[in-house]
Structure 1
């Protein structure tokens, strides 16, 4: 099949699966309610779709990869995973025959009901994590964990679906064709930068999914601009949760910038299980931002260009810390006023805790003292997490910043975190943000490695 949908009601596939009605689907496939006439049972049949525009060789490669990955997914048997019963052939394309679960996707539940209480989110997360733990043990990486791929049954049971399908569709990485598998709103930073997703990437994506359903907003910001989302994802710009309650700590671990610092799925399943009896959130539910339904995007919409091109519209899409430790008014091509360094030192001395390592706060002060006037020098003060955006994009973003004023900080708020609140002008518009800067040390130099900016 190609990317064009066929009207297949009543058609028989592989001599036994009678298609009855379409029950779902998107860019990667169409899902049908079907009857297995051999075993006399109801099943779900997913017809995989090829991305439009593939060459004959690419299409053939995709077919073979799809069949291989579908058979791999069929090996997984878990009570919280949709079971793949069979992989049939339909006009040269593999068709997945799966367990049918009367259900709604988590994305549909959120759109209809709004944010869910932390205890309910913990229960859903524990179910999904247990299935993903089994998948990882079997060597299967999901690569596209998101609300649309978690189903909630009528009895409240959560089951995750589409194991291996995103990987099958385009090998899960940035390829020569420039296609990408995964939804930017829920991508891990390393996956957004084009690195091969692994089990730790699934952990991050599940964390981003749980964040969305408990917060009612997306960790990278509520924008429908896919470039802005991928740009923020590549730098790990996650806004701190506000309504997660007892889930706050576990979400922070799941969405840690460094993959090695994240817990395993098995550890998460156990920890989330202990939170299912947490006090339920009594707040009134509000409709989830309409963008959720729009952000379940095709796996082939984002290219490597997005990592090096700013949308030019949303400053929250830009990874670099957009802050200064003193009032600065300068063009991006000029030099910062000499007085900013002195003011920066004074601010740091008065706001940092007495026992804070001076080098960490000082590194932040030094960085802001030379911005926005000296982006080439500022670039050398960033760690690999922020440098992943590319120097060209970094300089382009700063070229649109005219004035900056620190209203609080910088001060150390964690073992490797410095917080600062700033007002700045970007493209002629005023913004007020609190930034939580993740710090690392490389070759004796303290660097700013991540920037979780929260607009106010």
Structure 2
């Protein structure tokens, strides 16, 4: 692969120019000639000094990790479109984002303001939450793997690439792939990294952004630094300001005492929006954060702020609102980007999820909780009084019952008459109120929903045309071309667990996908809609993914 080479990678990607390089590979800006869109193409560099068997294992691992990364979709993560073979080398095809890496920004500016760093960190943490919920660990969070677009959108890239290329550890040849400056202590000690390792690495990255250097002393060579990192003693931050307590919590030496990624995201978002993060910084020198500090990592953003009592429900609604057929309340709203396998991800910039309003009532974590609790009690009391009045009014035919179902009027108008409206007016008002209600959803039994999921996967991957017809509007809006492209790379899919209707229109299923290079087992939560009496798959949430290795491993064992 070289600049100006007219050879198409995998028959469809034409290289334009190199845009980056590192220990893990070389990245090019390219054009997908089939879809006429820019893409980033990364050729993975395998560790040197491997024999033929080790090289083939590393190559197959790269394909598996690339395909797993391709299943993860989030607005703050660079999407992996494809993983292909080019002249015996694994190549990742990814979303192209005109941007600069955080490492480049720090080289230019030295340090960034704490609130700007918190905003970047909150976006990256949101993407890592999605990955961790699917059982995927990034392993290599660092400034060079965070891209910042012109509009301020931050996206993390290279999911699973460190594992695909041999991990950031001492290899069998004695070489260290990458820098250990942003590793967690347990990873440096040789433990398998978990979600807490990503929390530490993100904290170390944000530390570098405000302090201008990683959190560990540099002894002069990478092997010695690995020992320093393993000891877990950080240099106390001096310029973190409002980020101080959050960084200290994320950089705790012991993984079990660090905040979860969700807690870290909430604290970072609070700092970015000018609110307290709810933390008390540990005393110096750095020591493991006490358990109570971890619990305090829920900032005021997690508590519904209420500057005023919530308005009462509209008078014409005397019962709970019935959801429409297309509403999917059981599917987490913060993950609309996850699509059914093969559906095209939404890659446009998406801001950090909005937090609760700021104001005098949010001066601190404790006061915010107290204020919210008082308001919640008052609101509940008000609702209780209203319900009691409605019940009493409904039993004796009093005027209050009639007024509760009539159109809203001004206070002067409502005081004009103490009698109920004529029957004809009452019927008109009730008809008007009922006509404004959405139509009731079309319902199918749990068994019918489960059968619809079974029927869908029985078609795949052989009948993509019919499968496309069984998707709801939510998934079809994401593009047929990418849907077909995904299934073109799948040799087989089978249901190994479920499907099980868990609530309403939600079905969970465990699937096993087989490609030419790998077998993966995945748990999915499917949101169903019913149109014209037929169940369609409208949303797809990836709940977990397991790499089962190469597809021919079991066959080889049977032959033996």
* Aligned residue number for residue 16 of structure 2: 20
1:256 CA displacement: 0.7
Distance 2:139 2:12 in 1: 31
For the pair 1:199 / 2:195, whether they are aligned, the reply is: yes
1:437 CA displacement: 6.2
93, 101, 107: which one aligns with 2:103: 107
Quickly say closer, same or farther: Cα 1:246–1:61, change in 2 above 3 A.
Answer: same
* Aligned residue number for residue 266 of structure 1: 262
Write the mapping of 1:293-304 to structure 2, written as runs, cut at 5 A: none
Contact 2:102–2:146 (Cα < 8 Å) also in 1: yes
Contact 2:3–2:18 (Cα < 8 Å) also in 1: no
Quickly say closer, same or farther: Cα 1:437–1:259, change in 2 above 3 A.
Answer: closer
Distance 1:255 1:437 in 2: 9
* Aligned residue number for residue 156 of structure 1: 152
Tell which structure's C-alpha radius of gyration is larger: 2
84, 102, 113: which one aligns with 2:80: 84
Aligned-residue RMSD, C-alpha: 2.4
Deviation by residue 1:64-119 (Cα, 9 ceiling, x = unmatched): 00000000000010000000011111112221111000011000000001110010
Quickly say closer, same or farther: Cα 1:178–1:195, change in 2 above 3 A.
Answer: farther
Write the mapping of 1:226-265 to structure 2, written as runs, cut at 5 A: 226-265=222-261
Alignment gaps of 5+ in structure 1: 280-412, 420-434, 441-456
Quickly say closer, same or farther: Cα 1:138–1:177, change in 2 above 3 A.
Answer: farther
TM-score for the superposition, normalised by structure 1: 0.59
Distance 1:436 1:263 in 2: 16
Quickly say closer, same or farther: Cα 1:181–1:142, change in 2 above 3 A.
Answer: farther
Quickly say closer, same or farther: Cα 1:226–1:171, change in 2 above 3 A.
Answer: closer
TM-score for the superposition, normalised by structure 2: 0.48
Distance 2:164 2:158 in 1: 10
1:9 CA displacement: 3.3
For the pair 1:52 / 2:48, whether they are aligned, the reply is: yes
36, 41, 51: which one aligns with 2:37: 41
1:170 CA displacement: 1.1
* Aligned residue number for residue 133 of structure 1: 129
> After alignment, is 130-139 or 261-270 more displaced?
261-270
1:223 CA displacement: 5.2
Contact 2:3–2:16 (Cα < 8 Å) also in 1: no
Distance 2:107 2:170 in 1: 30
Distance 1:437 1:188 in 2: 15
What is the total number of aligned residue pairs between the two structures?
Answer: 286
Contact 1:9–1:21 (Cα < 8 Å) also in 2: no
1:269 CA displacement: 1.4
Contact 1:172–1:196 (Cα < 8 Å) also in 2: no
1:10 CA displacement: 3.0
Quickly say closer, same or farther: Cα 1:18–1:31, change in 2 above 3 A.
Answer: same
Q: Secondary structure at the match of 1:12?
A: coil
Q: Secondary structure at the match of 2:57?
A: helix
Distance 2:45 2:151 in 1: 31
1:231 CA displacement: 1.8
* Aligned residue number for residue 299 of structure 1: none
Distance 1:239 1:270 in 2: 24
Contact 2:248–2:281 (Cα < 8 Å) also in 1: no
Contact 2:176–2:222 (Cα < 8 Å) also in 1: no
> After alignment, is 117-126 or 135-144 more displaced?
135-144
Quickly say closer, same or farther: Cα 1:226–1:39, change in 2 above 3 A.
Answer: same
1:203 CA displacement: 0.5
